[in-house]
Amino acid sequence: NAGVTQTPKFQVLKTGQSMTLQCAQDMNHNSMYWYRQDPGMGLRLIYYSASEGTTDKGEVPNGYNVSRLNKREFSLRLESAAPSQTSVYFCASSFPTGGLNTEAFFGQGTRLTVV
């Protein structure tokens, strides 16, 4: 029962470096999401993918790109990291049909520090 798996768990980047955060789910969910969590801000949606082959911007997309590689995998890329992107990043997945199936399942998070 892996659920939602994120890699890496921790990462330190220098300003201007690039990296990709990986996320995979084994629950056959159609929808996947990337959130960032900052102290006192709750979780804010960066990008989401309602189904394989589609992606849409969330509340805070600037500085990020995403790829829905297949139904299982949804990656988040920082092309040129900035200190403002220091955060904890969470991937989540859910069924898209709403109601009882709207529950999102979260990964354990990636703690990213940009120096």
Partner 1 sequence: AQSVTQLGSHVSVSEGALVLLRCNYSSSVPPYLFWYVQYPNQGLQLLLKYTSAATLVKGINGFEAEFKKSETSFHLTKPSAHMSDAAEYFCAVSDSGGSQGNLIFGKGTKLSVKP
Identify the residue among 76, 107, 112, 114 touching partner 1 (CB under 8 A). Answer: 107
For residues 38 and 94, what is the distance between their CA atoms, to the nearest angstrom? 22
Identify the residue among 70, 84, 101, 113 touching partner 1 (CB under 8 A). Answer: 101
The interface region with partner 1, picked from 11-19, 20-28, 72-80, 106-114 by CB under 8 A, is 106-114
Q: At its nearest, how many Å lie between partner 1 and the CB of residue 31?
A: 6
Site for partner 1 in 40-59 (CB under 8 A): 40-45, 48, 50, 58
Residue 101 CA: distances (Å) to CA of 31, 61, 69, 106, 113: 11, 26, 23, 14, 34
The continuous run of DSSP H or E covering 48 comes out as strand 42-49
For residues 28 and 73, what is the distance between their CA atoms, to the nearest angstrom? 11
Interacting residues toward partner 1 by CB under 8 A: 4, 31, 33, 35, 40-45, 48, 50, 58, 90, 92, 94-109
